[in-house]
Amino acid sequence: MTEFWRLPATRIAALVRGGHASAVEVARDALARLDAANPAINAVVDHDAAETLAEAARVDAAIARGEDPGAMAGVPVTIKVNVDQVGHATTNGLKIQAQHRATEDNPVVANLRRAGAVILGRTNTPAFSLRWFCRNGLHGHTRNPWNPGITPGGSSGGAAAATAAGIGAVGHGTDIGGSIRYPAYACGVHGLRPTLGRVPAWNPSFPDRHIGGQLMAVSGPIARTIADLELAFHAMAARDVREPWWVDAPMQGPPAPKRAALCIGPEGLATAPEVEAALRDAAARLEAAGWVVEEAPLPPLREPARIQAMLWLAESRRGMNRAFAQEADPDASFVHAQMEALCPEPDLFGFMDGLQRRVGFVREWMEFFERHPVALCPVSAELPFPDLLDVESPEAFRRVIEAQLTQVGLPLMGLPGLAVTTGLVGTVPVGVQLLAGRYREDLLLQAGAAIEAAGVPATPIDPARG
């Protein structure tokens, strides 16, 4: 019997589209893998086997009728619990939203279905999707499948842990401050944060977000191979008129020189030796593939990170503080208090000044990418953190947020970023981050494929048990 759960999404889709396997066969195998692997990591927190099999049967029926089933035909995917999926609760890791059932799909979910993907289940996130760790009072604690003593990342920790363990070939994630890139890094897989406006996403069951969320939050894929990222990204990015920010930009941009800037410690970031070694190894891999790599400072990230936090907290300060009090999640309450302490509340003019400065930072970064089409920098200054480090003390929280400078600073400009896993330090994954200009995910994927080709951790893995 074929273990489809071990196969990449590209191979599964080829088998199903070519009539060499049925989507129902693949779905049954994926459900068996979920039952076997999920208890150790608690990555998938909501699934309906009958619904999954019915979706797979619809793919097979389309093929039987001679119809195109879609580029992701039969590929098992997971969906993060902070986006609407018909018939399921959009909990966002919250007890107060445990019964908040969606009656309409988020565009990113609808696009995956239209591409023939089969939804396997919904993945965990910390309360309010707030942290780079993954525990909440409703769904419990997600563990890293490589090593339960380290974080699986957050907020898309469930998506990355599931993907690494072979529970689905692709995981859907969201990213407003690293929530795709960091979990991919922590779980030894790849994660793509697309450009603002690239992937349509909107929760019909909630009010529209304020300007900070609109400018910085995106949906994107987590996968075990770069080719799978590309397949899922193209499917997710299909037009949906419900997303006003969506831009009909070509998926392949004009030719660009293979030139990358390497920055080990942006703006004085104290990058750990193991992370520096991974960056220099990735640079050498790019050079072996014909890229020119030169060390160069990056445009600002610290001030964009400050403005990012100000915009995000403006949303929570206006409409979510009551929800924080009602939920009374100790992790979320502590982290939110630390963030508020580090980011004083602005007045109207301060808020306007932040938005004005954003334009200048976008300009500065776009000019930088004219000289260096790709940048190579840390995903985090540290190896994946000990689990729950951020809630140990205010000092521990400040250590965490300092290490995550490149995670928090990038979204303000709406730029894309790609976390590429490169290896292991013992049982702890390590990797690098690639950055490029707006709508140049093609360059990120090109560079990411060159790095991947020289070796990455073997996945999927059987979860380690603590």
- Record the pTM: 0.98
Alpha-carbon distance of 252 to 230, in angstroms, equals 11
Q: Which residues contact 244 (CB under 8 A, 6 or more apart)?
A: none
pLDDT tens digit sequence for 413-454: 999 999 999 999 999 999 999 999 999 999 999 999 999 999
> pLDDT-derived band of residue 321, with 50, 70 and 90 as boundaries?
confident
E strand spans, 211-323:
218-223, 259-262, 292-295
Helix (H, G, I), strand (E, B) or coil at 375: strand
pLDDT at 302: 98
pLDDT tens digit sequence for 25-61: 999 999 999 999 999 999 999 999 999 999 999 999 9
Joined tokens for residue 401: 């947020």
What amino acid positions are annotated as catalytic residues?
80, 155, 179
461 in any annotated domain:
no
Alpha-carbon distance of 412 to 408, in angstroms, equals 8
Alpha-carbon distance of 402 to 143, in angstroms, equals 23
- Fill in the amino acid letter for 460: P
97 in any annotated domain:
yes
The CA R_g of the chain, rounded to the nearest whole Å, is: 20
Mean pLDDT confidence for 278-288: 98
Q: Is the distance from CB of 392 to CB of 279 less than 8 angstroms?
A: no
Mean pLDDT confidence for 136-143: 98
Alpha-carbon distance of 110 to 114, in angstroms, equals 6
CA 271 to chain centre: 22
Predicted confidence (pLDDT) at residue 465 exceeds the cutoff of 80: no
Give the structural domain span for 275.
4-453
291 in any annotated domain:
yes
List alpha helices for 65-192, DSSP H. 107-114, 157-164, 181-187
Joined tokens for residue 79: 């969906």
Predicted confidence (pLDDT) at residue 255 exceeds the cutoff of 70: yes
326 in any annotated domain:
yes
465 in any annotated domain:
no
Alpha-carbon distance of 164 to 170, in angstroms, equals 9
346 in any annotated domain:
yes
Joined tokens for residue 463: 């979860």
Helix (H, G, I), strand (E, B) or coil at 79: strand
> pLDDT-derived band of residue 23, with 50, 70 and 90 as boundaries?
very high
Cβ of 55: how many Cβ atoms within 10 Å?
21
pLDDT at 401: 98
- Fill in the amino acid letter for 110: A
Mean pLDDT confidence for 157-168: 98
CATH no. for residue 336? 3.90.1300.10
User: Which helix (H) or strand (E) covers residue 431, if one does?
Assistant: strand 428-436
311 in any annotated domain:
yes
459 in any annotated domain:
no
- The total number of structural domains in the chain stands at 1
pLDDT at 427: 96
pLDDT at 148: 98
User: Which helix (H) or strand (E) covers residue 215, if one does?
Assistant: helix 211-216
